[in-house]
Amino acid sequence: MPDLSAMLERGPVVCAEGYLFECERRGYLQAGAFVPEVVLDHPDVVEELHREFVHAGSDVVEAFTYYGHRQKLRVVGKEDILEPLNRQALSVAAGVARQTGTLLAGNVCNASPAADRVPHLVV
């Protein structure tokens, strides 16, 4: 596995992002009040996006867990998929990171659900 500190000493480390927009562009989800169910429904699509981002120069494979938090899933009646969704997203990303020799990163979703409990949090 690559060493982040060593990579940073050599220069910038690129972490490509844009899974939401690219999945929407390809017709796999609609932005808005969505959850990234594409991770469960079409893991092959997400895996291919990870590979494309690495091919384009990303040094980091970032798990597509955006909006995969309890409050968001509860709003759309899908709180029960929270753990499977996040585990699948991490598994898919980890597999690509291992195969491509890139770093793996988790994706912390929006902090707005915690804003009322964390006084110094600006969202």
Residue 65 belongs to domain with CATH number = 3.20.20.330
Number of structural domains found in the chain? 1
pLDDT, residue 123, reads 46
Average pLDDT over residues 68-77: 80
Does any domain span residue 123?
no
More confident residue, 33 or 89: 89
Distance CA 26, CA 49 (A): 11
pLDDT, residue 117, reads 64
Tokens 């949090």 -> residue: 121
Does any domain span residue 43?
yes
104 Cβ contact list (under 8 Å, min separation 6)? 1, 60, 61, 63, 90, 93, 94, 97
Residue 45: CB atoms within 10 A of its CB come to 19
pLDDT, residue 84, reads 92
pLDDT, residue 73, reads 81
37 close to 85: Cβ distance less than 8 angstroms = yes
Considering the entire predicted model, what is its pTM?
Answer: 0.82
Residue 12: CB atoms within 10 A of its CB come to 8
Mean pLDDT of all residues in the chain? Answer: 85
DSSP string, 44-65: HHHHHHHHHHHHTT-SEEEP--
DSSP-based three-state secondary structure for 113: helix
Does any domain span residue 102?
yes
User: Domain range spanning residue 68?
Assistant: 4-114
Does any domain span residue 120?
no
pLDDT in tens, 15-72: 998 888 899 899 888 776 566 788 999 999 999 999 999 999 999 999 998 777 777 7
DSSP-based three-state secondary structure for 7: helix
